[in-house]
Amino acid sequence: MSIVIAQMATFKALKVSIRKKERVKDIKAMLLEMASGNFFYRLERFAKNDNLEAISISLNMLAEEIQASYYHQGFSNTNNPILDLVQMSFIIDKNGTIEMVNQQACNILSILTSDVIGTPFISFLEQSTQKTWKALENNLLQKKLFETSLELKFKTKSDLVIPKIAHVSSFHTLDAKIPKILITIIHHSNHQKKTDKELKTSVSQYIEQENNLNKKPENKSKIRLSFEDIRKIRKGRDILLSSLKSDFPSLREFALLLGTNEFKLKYGFKELYGTTVHRFLMNERFRNAQMMIQFSDESLKSIAHINGFKSISHFSRSFKKRYGYAPSVLRKKSRNKDK
């Protein structure tokens, strides 16, 4: 009996050792992808609370932040902002085989186009997602026209997981009665087209004003933002992002801190980021809180404090009003996924 127990213990230790090696391999793969500029990947969470889990959580949070900085309202690379971006696109036939795929999807999956075309779509999905997809695929092909959105977890050759919200619809071509399926994954930045156009207009008006100092502006309500004004407002945005838990001063005090006035601060923030200063701050607090609930082990009370909410009750009410569900429900759902 003791020999059997010892063998079982040895087998268990060996299994744990193998799993640790696999987790280290996943972490290395994700670091290489991030180094090459791909921030779409997420490491799977595990119930065991060890150093590898802590690293995985940190990497997921870092990738989330960097991806957000690239795409969220075009804050990064503002000279050439990304607006509405089709990240992944597939057309699937009645047998579940991929007929078309865009190049960006191949880049994200780290696979050649020739290795995607003619391959079952389900083979690129993480195991937990395959069952959900199979049921949806049958439903799509049975109906003439149908569309929905759902979360799909893709996997790469190195078994990195890429969670995405996909828009899925069935359609018919002119020469075929058999339905096909279109899968589209779009990352978009709200208001960016409008704000980018308005910013270009304001800069053009500024140049015109410099060339015609005595010319009366056609629209007195419009002010001109100089490049120094823009620099100060961007500095203000950086201050807000680095101090989410701090009490926000009055707009007048904040404007003085930046070396501008309240009117230019409010107008410029709207021009650059498409929203008010206060609304931008609240959006970032909620976004950061939502990410921490899903990818960290911080308590809800601590998350509320870190993101500038006075109490857990205020945080819970505000969070539920914004998203339609309580923070505790999101935490429970995230934990259940990890098991």
Q: What is the mean pLDDT of residues 116-125?
A: 92
pLDDT at res. 75? 41
**Where does the pLDDT of residue 79 fall: very low under 50, low under 70, confident under 90, or very high at 90 and above?**
very low
Q: Answer yes or no: are the C-beta atoms of 77 and 147 closer than 8 Å.
A: no
| 251/147 Cα distance (integer angstroms) | 45
Which residues, 6+ apart, have CB-to-CB distance to 207 below 8 Å? none
pLDDT at res. 196? 53
**Where does the pLDDT of residue 314 fall: very low under 50, low under 70, confident under 90, or very high at 90 and above?**
very high
| 265/327 Cα distance (integer angstroms) | 33
How far apart, in Å, do the first and last CA atoms of the chain sit? Answer: 31
pLDDT at res. 316? 93
Residues in the chain: 339
Give residue 269's identity as a one-letter amino acid code.
F
Structure tokens at 274: 């498409």
| 77/187 Cα distance (integer angstroms) | 16
Q: What is the mean pLDDT of residues 9-29?
A: 73
Residues 170-219: pLDDT tens digits?
877 766 667 788 898 876 444 445 555 555 666 666 566 666 665 554 55
**Where does the pLDDT of residue 315 fall: very low under 50, low under 70, confident under 90, or very high at 90 and above?**
very high
pLDDT at res. 12? 61
* Domains assigned to the chain: 2-74 (no CATH), 85-187 (3.30.450.20), 192-274 (no CATH), 281-338 (1.10.10.60)
- Cα–Cα separations (whole angstroms), residue 276 to 40, 221, 267, 268: 29, 17, 8, 9
Structure tokens at 35: 């180094």
Query: What torsion do the CA atoms of 44, 50, 52, 56 make, to the nearest 10 degrees?
Result: 40
pLDDT at res. 78? 43
3-state secondary structure 51-106: HHHHHHHHHHHHHHHHHHHHHHHHCCCCCCCCCCEEEEEEEECCCCEEEEECHHHH
Q: Answer yes or no: are the C-beta atoms of 39 and 69 closer than 8 Å.
A: no
Q: Is 171 left (phi over 0), alpha (psi -120 to 50) or beta?
A: beta
Which residues, 6+ apart, have CB-to-CB distance to 80 below 8 Å? none
| 51/45 Cα distance (integer angstroms) | 12
| 94/294 Cα distance (integer angstroms) | 36
Mean of the per-residue pLDDT values of the chain = 77
pLDDT at res. 9? 62
Which residues, 6+ apart, have CB-to-CB distance to 33 below 8 Å? 39, 41, 110, 160
Local structure of residue 189 (DSSP, 8 states): -
Which residues, 6+ apart, have CB-to-CB distance to 86 below 8 Å? 102, 104, 184, 185, 186
- Whether the predicted pLDDT of 167 surpasses 60: yes
Q: Which of 150-154, 224-228, 282-286 is the most confident on average? A: 282-286
Q: Which of 149-153, 193-197, 280-284 is the most confident on average? A: 280-284
Of 76, 50, 73, 45, the closest CA to residue 61 belongs to 45
Q: Answer yes or no: are the C-beta atoms of 192 and 83 closer than 8 Å.
A: yes
Residues 264-277: pLDDT tens digits?
889 888 888 888 99
Of 77, 69, 81, the closest CA to residue 193 belongs to 81
Mark 256-285 as b/e (b = at least 16 C-beta within 10 Å): eebebeeebbbbbbbbbbbbebeebbbbbb
Structure tokens at 290: 């939502």
